Amino acid sequence: MYGPLDILSIETWILLITAILAARYYINQKYQVLKKLNIPHAPPSIFRLGNIDEMMSDLVSFFKKDLVRKKKYGKIYGTYVGVNPRITIADPEILKQIQLKEAGIFRDRQRSFSKVNGKEMNQALTSAEGDHWKRIRSTISPVFSTSKLKDMIGIMDRCTDKMVKNLHKISKDEDGKFMPTDVLSKLSLDVICSTSFNVDMHTQDDGEEPTLIKMGRKLFDIQLSKSFAFFTFFVFPSTEWIGELINYSIFPSEAVKYFAGLVDALIKNKDHDKTRVDMMTQMLNEKISEEEAKTAHKGLTRNEIVGNSIVMIMGGYETTANTMMFVIYNLASHKHEQDKCREEIKKAVEKHGGLTYEAIGTLTYLTQCINETLRVYPAVIRNSRYCEKEITIQGVTIPAGIHVDIPTYGMSRDEEYWDEPTKFKPERMEDMSKIDPIIFQPFGAGPRNCIGMRFALIEMKMAISKILLNFEVDMCPDTPEPPLEIIFKASVRPKEDFSLKVTPLNSE
């Protein structure tokens, strides 16, 4: 019979036990942070990686629990990711301080997943931090100025005309039944590639599915094989330097390499006519070296141009397509609202001689429908801010190094703020001065709001207007009744794909 001392020496056992007790003490101290701050939370456990088991039990719908937690704990509550405390705040007055007044202390969205996106995407706006983010943002912002957006209207017009042509063909060949996910994702990719790079990638053409579409879809397909690394970096963000060292990306490497190669090829083939309006040309006009970037206040390096181009494709592809899909679904299931939108669009076209930038700016009721859709089906289900310096706001102390989570889905579906929150009621968005921009923040709030917000809204209004001017949109017998159940898998999408039906108006 062997005893413990036959396996290890007494000194080794003492060191091992001391290490275990020290680790236990450290973890226990970390698990006291929220308690000391008087922030309610579920009891954490090292065996459950803090409270992360609640997320892991339902990865695609975890965000819906924010409403449950608010009812249980109130507008401020905490959670532990591993041993790292996070604070969720649904109090609009405190959030105004965080996202607006004290934005300098909460400059970054997060300090996790910023170094494990691949060398190019680590340099994108979504990952950049502090002064690095400020330089990139100030350089890219002019790309979305009013004058540049006006210049892009013609490109959007051509892309949406292709979509209308395809829908007419569907109305003849397939009795009008179509998958809005398919049609609108192809349109979105066409728009973002045409406006970003001034190239036609033929994403809406008939025939075999283009590689660009396959890779665009793959970019959002984070496989379970990546889940171990994903949760390792999520629970232990301090290990991200390892991922950065080996150029690891949580996104599918094949898709990232494809888009990085595509952007590089476009950069090399550019004739660099500085008068062109596409986003790539405007970024190339601000190109600087890695050495210059260390001290510059403006300009973009090669990796930053590539990374931000990929992020533009991601933001302009699935997120925009899914939002348009939800809008069309709402209008198909609410025919009175659809008719009202159509009449407004007709009047705007007659007054301005087409779907011009000015005409799109007058579509107030369609804007209401888009805003209400973004409330019912938010494109962003959660937002976050990283606290760089300890601060106390209205009696709530937020220590340095803490992430603050903003439950955008929870606030947009909260009965405290919205009557019948799951119902589509565009009239509630009629007077936006009565809508708290913190409770309803579909594109974020403060300096780190979505840089492409105006671009996305113009594209959506253009596409939806073209559809309604040419077609009556109806539900199919197998289309689910509202509200749709949504999930999150790299972006917000319906749990089940569905079909709609278009009938040409000129056939009446």
Per-residue model confidence as pLDDT tens digits over 262-313: 878 877 776 555 556 678 888 888 889 999 998 999 999 988 988 888 888 8
C-alpha dist (Å) from residue 236 to 50, 109, 111, 241, 395: 12, 17, 11, 11, 30
pLDDT band, residue 508 (cuts 50/70/90): very low
Structural domain includes residue 13: no
Top pLDDT among 60 and 461 is at: 461
The predicted-structure confidence for 2-29, as pLDDT tens digits, reads as follows 555 556 678 787 888 888 778 777 788 8
- Residue 228, pLDDT score: 67
The predicted-structure confidence for 31-70, as pLDDT tens digits, reads as follows 999 999 999 999 988 888 788 877 766 777 888 999 999 9
SS (H, E, C) 146-197: HHHHHHHHHHHHHHHHHHHHHHHHHHHHCCCEECHHHHHHHHHHHHHHHHHH
- Residue 85, pLDDT score: 93
**Total domains present in the chain:** 1
Written as six digits, the tokens of 291 are: 């050495």
Structural domain includes residue 15: no
Category of 383 on φ-ψ map: left (φ > 0), alpha (ψ -120 to 50) or beta = beta
DSSP class of residue 368 equals H
Amino acid letter, residue 508: E
Structural domain includes residue 249: yes
Lowest mean pLDDT among 110-124, 223-237, 239-253, 483-497: 223-237
Nearest to 281 by CA among 292, 291, 270: 270
Whether the per-residue pLDDT at 114 is higher than 70: the answer is: yes
387 is in an annotated binding site: no
Nearest to 224 by CA among 487, 486, 489: 489
Dihedral pair phi/psi, residue 170, rounded to 5°: -65, -40
Report the CATH number that the domain containing residue 435 is assigned in CATH. Answer: 1.10.630.10
Nearest to 455 by CA among 221, 242, 194: 194
- Residue 258, pLDDT score: 85
Whether the per-residue pLDDT at 76 is higher than 50: the answer is: yes
Structural domain includes residue 437: yes
CA dihedral 135→138→143→147, nearest 10 degrees, is: -160
Global confidence as pTM: 0.90
Surface-to-core class of residue 223, CB atoms within 10 Å of its CB (0-12 exposed, 13-18 middle, 19+ buried): exposed
Whether the per-residue pLDDT at 224 is higher than 50: the answer is: no
- Residue 360, pLDDT score: 97
| Those residues with Cβ within 8 angstroms of residue 45's Cβ, 6 or more apart along the chain or in another chain | none
Whether the per-residue pLDDT at 223 is higher than 80: the answer is: no
Question: Across all residues in the chain, what is the average pLDDT?
Answer: 88
Structural domain includes residue 361: yes
Structural domain includes residue 28: no
Q: Whole-angstrom Cα distance, residue 214 to residue 348?
A: 37
Structural domain includes residue 186: yes
Structural domain includes residue 355: yes
Written as six digits, the tokens of 55 are: 């997320």
| Interval 352-375 mean pLDDT | 97
% of the chain exceeding 90 in pLDDT: 56
Nearest to 55 by CA among 24, 90, 88: 88
Q: Residue 492: which domain range? A: 38-504
